[in-house]
Structure 1
Amino acid sequence: MAPLLNCLLREASLAAGEPVAGRSLHRLRATGRLLSVRTGHRPGAPELWTGTSWQPVRHSGLIDLAAQEMRAVTGRSNAALAAEMTAGREVLEALLAARARAAPPDHPWLRSEQALIMGHSHHPAPKARTGGGPPGVWLRYAPETYARFPLVLLGVREDTVVDDGDTRALDTLGQAPDGYRLLPVHPWQLDLTHHLPAVRAAFAAGRLVQLGHTPWDARATASVRTVHVPGGPERPGASGDLFLKFSLEVQITNDVRRIRRHELRHVRHTDPLVTAAFRAMDGPAAWLSERGHRTVRGLDETFPVLVRDGLDDHVLPGATATLAAALTEGFDGDPLDRLTDPLPWWAAYLNCVVPPVLEVYARHGIAIECHLQNTLIAVDPDGSPVQAVFRDAEGARAIPATPREAAWQRLAYCLVVNNLTEIVNVLTHRFPEAAEALWPTARREFQRCAREHGLPEIKALLAAATVPCKANLLSRWIDADGTEPCYVPVPNPLAGATGQGDDGSLTPRRRAEH
C-alpha cells in the first residue's frame, strides 16, 4: 500500500492541516476526499472521511480511491492499470512466500541487488509482472527470490546474426557449431516467445538452433531482465564477470521490457560518449559500459542481448559494491546498520554521487539516469562510501540529441528526488536527531560543484522552490510513453528554509492538470 499511497500524496493531494498524533491529513484535489495517513518512513494505515467518521481503507479500497481521483483528473478510465495494481499485491504475496523458502546469496553486493521487495517507492504497481504468466513460471527468475539459473544457448546462423560493437565476450560463454555464432537467451523470454510464428520459422529453417544451457548459473539482478554472469572459479577460463541485458515480453513498472531497435541504436550512440566522459574524469567514479549487442535479423527485438561491463574491473580494490536502492529497504550486510553518526557517511555518499553526475553534464552535455537502481555505492571495510558506479546507457541522454531543458529535467529528478531524497528519508528514519543537518550538507555539495563548473542549472536548482518529479500514477493512467512521462512540481529540499522563488528552467514541460 505504501507506494500507491505515496503516489496519491505526491501527485494528487494537498496537505489539509498539520500532522497530529502521528497522522497527517490530506485532501485529494479533484474529488475533494479527505484522507488520513499514518506518518513515518513509509505512509500507512489510511483512513477515509465518510462525512461522519473515519473508515480504514484496505488495498482494494485504495485502488478504488486512486481510480476515482484519476478519472476526475483526466476524464479517462483505465481498468488495465487498476487490475495491475491488484495483481501487484498477488505478485508480492508470491514473492514473499518463495523468498522465505530460499537461501540468500553469500556476496553482500548480490544480496543488495536482490533486496528490493517493496521496489519503487512511488509507483502504483511496482511489483506487477503483467504478461509474464503465473507465479510458477516466473518465480524461478525473480531477483526477490534469490534466483540463479542457467542461460539458454542458441546458435545463430552467421548470415542471420546482427552484431554491433564489441560482443566478443558472448563467444566465451559456450561453443557454437561451424557456421553459427553463440547467442545466450534469457529462459523466461524463450518461454514467452517460442510459440511465435517468426520464432518457430527461424528454428525450422535452421537460422536458429538449440545448443543447451550454460554449465554455470547467471544471477538475477534488480532490473529482472539483466543478469550477472560470474567470472573466476565459477566460470573457468573467464577473464572476468559481466552483465547481460535481455528483452523480456513482460510489463514491469512503466514499460514492456522489450529492447526495441531504436533503443539499440540509442545505446550504441550514447554509451561511447558516456564511457569517454567517465574516463576523462579525475576521480574514482565509474561507468559500466554497454560495449555491444548481438541479435537475430528478423527477430531483432525478440532475442537481443546487450553486453555490459562487470564489476571486477571497476570497483576499487578492497571496496564492496552496494546497490543504492537497497539502502532504502535494508538487507543483510547493509552498511547503514553499522552507523552511529550518519553525517560523515552522508557527506561521503554525496561526494561520491553528486560531483561525477554534474561534471559529466557540465563538461560533456550528458545526463545519466542516476536513480537508485542505476547507482552502485562501493564502501570500504568500515562501510563508508568511497566510489559511485553508474549503469544503463538506455536512460542516458546527450545534448543536443536531447534538448538541454529535457536532459536537465530528467537529471534533476533522478538525482534530487529519486536518489538523494530517498536516502535522506531512510537516514531520517534511522537517525531523526540528524534530520535537520542532512539537506544543508547536500546543498553545500551542490554549491561546491556550482563554483567548480559555473553551471547555470545548478545555481537555478539551488534557488528553485520546486523540482520536477515524475508522476508515475498519472503517467500510467493516461498511458504516457515511458520515455515521455508527466512531471509534477514538488518542494525542492535543496532550496533551504528561506524558500527562494521558482525558476523557469525547472518548470516541468508537462504539468499534471489538477
Structure 2
Amino acid sequence: MLLTRTTTFTADDATATALLNCLVREVCAPEQQIWPDGAHLIVRLPRVGVVLRARLARPPAGPTYRLLPPYEERRDDDWIAAPWDRLSNLVAGELELATGQANPEFTAQVANSHTALTAILKTRGDSSPGELPSEAVRRYVESEQSLVAGHRFHPSPKARQGAPEQWLPYTPETRARFQPHWLAVREELLAEEGEPNAFDPLEALGPAAPPGYRALPAHPWQLSLLGDHPALQRALRKGLVRDLGLCGPEAIPTSSVRTVYVPAADLFCKFSLDVRITNCVRKNAWYELTGATVLNRLLRPVFATLSARFDACVLLAEPAYRTVALADRHLYEGLGVILRQGVGDLPGTPLLAGALADPYGTLLAQLPAMASPDSALTWWQQYVKRVALPVLHAYLDHGVVLEPHLQNVLITVNDEGMPVRAVFRDLEGTKLVPRHGLLDELADLPPRIRQSLTYDPERGWNRVVYCLLVNHLAEIAAAVADLHPELDPELWTTARSLLSAYEGARRPELRALLAGVPLPAKANLRARWARTADRGAGYVTAPNPLATQAPLCT
C-alpha cells in the first residue's frame, strides 16, 4: 500500500500517530514488543498489558515505520478504536511503570498540542500566503510555513504556552505576517557585538530613532510578555527606552516560530520568546548571544574550505546581535535579537528539508525530479552527497558539530527540483570538539560561554549521527519511498556507496557506521516524561540502514 501524501488530516489522527511513533521507537521496539501482522503492526505495552495495532502504509524501511490510522486496542477477541486521548493515557501508564516516576503534566501537554493543532488547522484554511518578491522566495516561505503537524517523533509536537488567540497571529503554520515592534534605546544602553553595520539594512526600513538613540526590533508577542516588567517600565518612564510601535517591513515567521524572515531586507531576526514551544523556552540566553558572533567568526574559514570541496555548501552567517543593557538579565536576554543572513542571493530555489520530508505534505511530490523512480533515485543521490558529506567532514576534519536536523537545513533546487547545494543554519546547536585547535580560540572567553560552545567527542558524534541520519536522511528516504516504494532498499545501498567512497570512510567513527552499529535516536518521549531540558535528552538505539544487510524495524 502506498502512503497518500496529502495535507488533509485531522488533529486526532496526527496526535495519535506521533504518540505511537514515540512509543514504538523508545519503548516497545527496544523491548521487542512489536511485530508485523499482515497490513498491520502489533504493539504491546508490556507493563500495562495492553495490545494495540496500527495500519502499515508500506513495508518498513530503515529505522522508521509509516503508521496509519485507525489505531485500535485489543479487548477480548475484538479490536476497538483507541483515540488519541486513550493512547495518551496508556503511554503515561506504561512510562510510570517503566520509570517508577509519575508525571501529571504529560497528558496535559499532549492535550495542549492537540488543541493547538486543532486551532492551526481551522485558521490555516482561511489564510493566504500573500505577496513576495519572487517565485523562489514564495516557494521558500511556503516550505517554512508548511509544517502543520510538526515532529513525527515527539509526543506533543505542537505544544505551546498560552491560549491560541495569543500566538495564532505569529505562527508560521497559519502563514502569519506581522510588523516588528520597534524600540528606541539610548546609545549608551545598546549592547551589541559582531560585524559593524550589520543591522543597517534592517534599520533603514524601520522607524527613525531620535538623536542619541538606536533602533531595536522586538517580537510583538515577546514585548507583550515583557510589558509589565518593572525595569522596562522604569526605562520607558525615564526616556532611556522609547516605544516606537509596530512599524517597518513585514516579518514572516519561519518553522521555529521565533525566527522571522524579513524579505524587504533579506535578513532573518532570531528573537527571544519567553514561551515554551514543544520542549524549550525559546529565549536567547546571554551566552548564546555572544556565542553566535564567536562561532560566526570561527566558522567562516571552515566553511570556505567546505564550500570549495562540497558543491558550494553554505552556512547562513549570524553576523551580529543587539539588545538593551539595563542591568537586568531577563531584559538583556528577552530583548536580544540575533541577525542572520538571508536567502535572496542563493542560486536556485531554497526549500526547507523538513517540508520535503513531511508525510502530510506534497512538496516533494511536486518536484519534477520525483516523476519516475530513476530520477527520484538520482535526486536522492545528489541530496545525500550535498547534505551528508560536508556535515561529516566538518566533524572529522575540523571538529565542528553541525546540527543538521530537518529544520536546520535548506536545500536549493534547480528548475527540475534537483538538489544544487545544502544550506545550513542556526548556530545555537553548533558546537566544537577538541580537534584541530579551534577550541584554543575560546580560551579568553568566560567559562559559561566556552561551555555553551563545546561538546566532548562522544556527545558531538552522537548529535551529528542523530541529526544527520535518524532525524534527517531517514525521514527524507521514507518520503521518497512513499512515492516510489520499489526503491527500497536501493536508497540506502546508494547512500552507503556514497559514504564508502568518501575520503573519510577510513575514520573509525564512519567505519563503525558503515559496519552497521545501531544509530542513536533522540528520546523525546522519555525526555518529556522526565521533564528533562532538551539539551539533556538521551538516546535510544535505532536500526542502521547503512549496514551491508540493512536491518528492518523489528
Question: Which one of 164, 174, 182 corresponds to residue 153 of structure 1?
Answer: 182
**Taking structure 1 as the reference length, what is the TM-score of the superposition?**
0.90
What is the rounded CA distance, in whole Å, between the counterparts of 2:213 and 2:466 in structure 1?
Answer: 45
Question: Which one of 48, 51, 76 corresponds to residue 31 of structure 1?
Answer: 48
Q: Which residue of 1 aligns with 2:74?
A: 49
SS at structure 2 position matched to 1:494: coil
Instruction: Say if 2:509 is the partner of 1:464.
Output: no
Question: Which one of 349, 355, 376 corresponds to residue 320 of structure 1?
Answer: 349
SS at structure 1 position matched to 2:188: coil
Question: Which one of 273, 276, 295 corresponds to residue 270 of structure 1?
Answer: 295
Instruction: Say if 2:214 is the partner of 1:181.
Output: yes
Consecutive unaligned residues in structure 1, runs of 5 or more: 232-239, 500-514
What is the rounded CA distance, in whole Å, between the counterparts of 1:196 and 1:230 in structure 2?
Answer: 31
Q: Is contact 1:12–1:29 with CA below 8 Å preserved after alignment? A: no
Report the Cα offset of residue 167 of structure 1. Answer: 5.7
What is the rounded CA distance, in whole Å, between the counterparts of 1:447 and 1:477 in structure 2?
Answer: 39
What is the rounded CA distance, in whole Å, between the counterparts of 2:286 and 2:277 in structure 1?
Answer: 19
Report the Cα offset of residue 213 of structure 1. Answer: 2.6
Letter in 2 for 1:35: L
Q: Which residue of 2 aligns with 1:505?
A: none
SS at structure 1 position matched to 2:168: helix
Q: Which residue of 1 aligns with 2:305?
A: 280
What is the rounded CA distance, in whole Å, between the counterparts of 2:34 and 2:282 in structure 1?
Answer: 41
What is the rounded CA distance, in whole Å, between the counterparts of 1:214 and 1:448 in structure 2?
Answer: 53
Question: Which one of 371, 375, 392 corresponds to residue 358 of structure 1?
Answer: 392
What is the rounded CA distance, in whole Å, between the counterparts of 1:78 and 1:418 in structure 2?
Answer: 26
Q: Is contact 1:327–1:336 with CA below 8 Å preserved after alignment? A: no
Q: Mapping of 1:217-366 within 5 angstroms?
A: 217-231=250-264, 240-281=265-306, 282=308, 283-297=311-325, 298=328, 299-313=331-345, 315-316=346-347, 319-329=348-358, 334=364, 336-338=366-368, 339=370, 340-341=372-373, 342-366=376-400
Report the Cα offset of residue 193 of structure 1. Answer: 1.5
Q: 1:324 to 1:42 in 2, by over 3 A?
A: farther
Report the Cα offset of residue 331 of structure 1. Answer: 5.1
Q: 1:324 to 1:478 in 2, by over 3 A?
A: same
What is the rounded CA distance, in whole Å, between the counterparts of 1:497 and 1:155 in structure 2?
Answer: 62
Instruction: Say if 2:497 is the partner of 1:444.
Output: yes
Q: Which residue of 1 aligns with 2:9?
A: none
Q: Mapping of 1:337-486 within 5 angstroms?
A: 337-338=367-368, 339=370, 340-341=372-373, 342-400=376-434, 401-449=454-502, 451-452=503-504, 454-486=506-538
Q: Is contact 1:362–1:453 with CA below 8 Å preserved after alignment? A: no
Report the Cα offset of residue 461 of structure 1. Answer: 1.3
Report the Cα offset of residue 250 of structure 1. Answer: 1.3
Instruction: Say if 2:88 is the partner of 1:66.
Output: no
The size of the alignment, in residue pairs, is: 486
Q: 1:30 to 1:272 in 2, by over 3 A?
A: farther
Deviations 1:465-509 (CA, angstroms, capped at 9, x unpaired): 31111000101111112112111111111113166xxxxxxxxxx
SS at structure 2 position matched to 1:68: helix
What is the rounded CA distance, in whole Å, between the counterparts of 1:307 and 1:335 in structure 2?
Answer: 33
Q: Which residue of 2 aligns with 1:120?
A: 151
Deviations 1:400-437 (CA, angstroms, capped at 9, x unpaired): 33111110000000000000010111111111111220
Q: 1:336 to 1:438 in 2, by over 3 A?
A: farther
Moved more, 466-475 or 481-490: 481-490
Q: Which residue of 1 aligns with 2:119?
A: 94
Deviations 1:363-393 (CA, angstroms, capped at 9, x unpaired): 2100100001001010001110111001010
Report the Cα offset of residue 136 of structure 1. Answer: 1.7
What root-mean-square deviation, in Å, do the aligned CA atoms of Structure 1 and Structure 2 show? Answer: 1.9
Q: Is contact 2:54–2:67 with CA below 8 Å preserved after alignment? A: no
Q: 1:164 to 1:111 in 2, by over 3 A?
A: same
Deviations 1:133-172 (CA, angstroms, capped at 9, x unpaired): 3222211111001111111110111221111112623344
Moved more, 376-385 or 257-266: 257-266
Q: 1:17 to 1:260 in 2, by over 3 A?
A: closer
Letter in 1 for 2:302: A
Q: 1:487 to 1:332 in 2, by over 3 A?
A: closer
Q: Is contact 1:170–1:183 with CA below 8 Å preserved after alignment? A: no
What is the rounded CA distance, in whole Å, between the counterparts of 1:336 and 1:358 in structure 2?
Answer: 30
What is the rounded CA distance, in whole Å, between the counterparts of 2:378 and 2:516 in structure 1?
Answer: 27
What is the rounded CA distance, in whole Å, between the counterparts of 1:481 and 1:135 in structure 2?
Answer: 24
Report the Cα offset of residue 51 of structure 1. Answer: 4.3
Q: Is contact 1:170–1:182 with CA below 8 Å preserved after alignment? A: no
What is the rounded CA distance, in whole Å, between the counterparts of 2:361 and 2:51 in structure 1?
Answer: 36
Q: Is contact 2:504–2:510 with CA below 8 Å preserved after alignment? A: no
What is the rounded CA distance, in whole Å, between the counterparts of 2:33 and 2:102 in structure 1?
Answer: 27
Letter in 1 for 2:182: L
Q: Is contact 1:379–1:385 with CA below 8 Å preserved after alignment? A: yes
What is the rounded CA distance, in whole Å, between the counterparts of 1:120 and 1:393 in structure 2?
Answer: 21
Identity of aligned residues (%): 39
Q: 1:356 to 1:498 in 2, by over 3 A?
A: closer
SS at structure 2 position matched to 1:36: strand
What is the rounded CA distance, in whole Å, between the counterparts of 1:97 and 1:249 in structure 2?
Answer: 26
Q: 1:10 to 1:300 in 2, by over 3 A?
A: same
Instruction: Say if 2:31 is the partner of 1:19.
Output: no
Q: Is contact 1:112–1:331 with CA below 8 Å preserved after alignment? A: no
What is the rounded CA distance, in whole Å, between the counterparts of 2:100 and 2:353 in structure 1?
Answer: 38
Report the Cα offset of residue 455 of structure 1. Answer: 2.5
Report the Cα offset of residue 199 of structure 1. Answer: 2.3
What is the rounded CA distance, in whole Å, between the counterparts of 1:86 and 1:18 in structure 2?
Answer: 29
- Considering Cα pairs closer than 8 Å and 6+ residues apart, tell me whether 1 or 2 has the greater RCO: 2
Deviations 1:155-208 (CA, angstroms, capped at 9, x unpaired): 111221111112623344232111111100011111122122232222223221
**Taking structure 2 as the reference length, what is the TM-score of the superposition?**
0.84
What is the rounded CA distance, in whole Å, between the counterparts of 1:46 and 1:82 in structure 2?
Answer: 18
SS at structure 2 position matched to 1:163: strand
Q: Which residue of 1 aligns with 2:3?
A: none
Letter in 2 for 1:469: A
Q: Is contact 2:367–2:417 with CA below 8 Å preserved after alignment? A: no
Q: 1:337 to 1:149 in 2, by over 3 A?
A: same
Q: Is contact 1:167–1:307 with CA below 8 Å preserved after alignment? A: no
Report the Cα offset of residue 264 of structure 1. Answer: 2.1
Question: Which one of 186, 194, 204 corresponds to residue 165 of structure 1?
Answer: 194
Report the Cα offset of residue 333 of structure 1. Answer: 5.4
Q: Is contact 2:252–2:261 with CA below 8 Å preserved after alignment? A: yes
Q: Is contact 1:427–1:435 with CA below 8 Å preserved after alignment? A: no
What is the rounded CA distance, in whole Å, between the counterparts of 2:33 and 2:398 in structure 1?
Answer: 44
Consecutive unaligned residues in structure 2, runs of 5 or more: 1-15, 58-65, 133-137, 435-453
Letter in 2 for 1:304: G
SS at structure 2 position matched to 1:149: coil
Deviations 1:244-291 (CA, angstroms, capped at 9, x unpaired): 000011111210111112222332332323332111221310000111
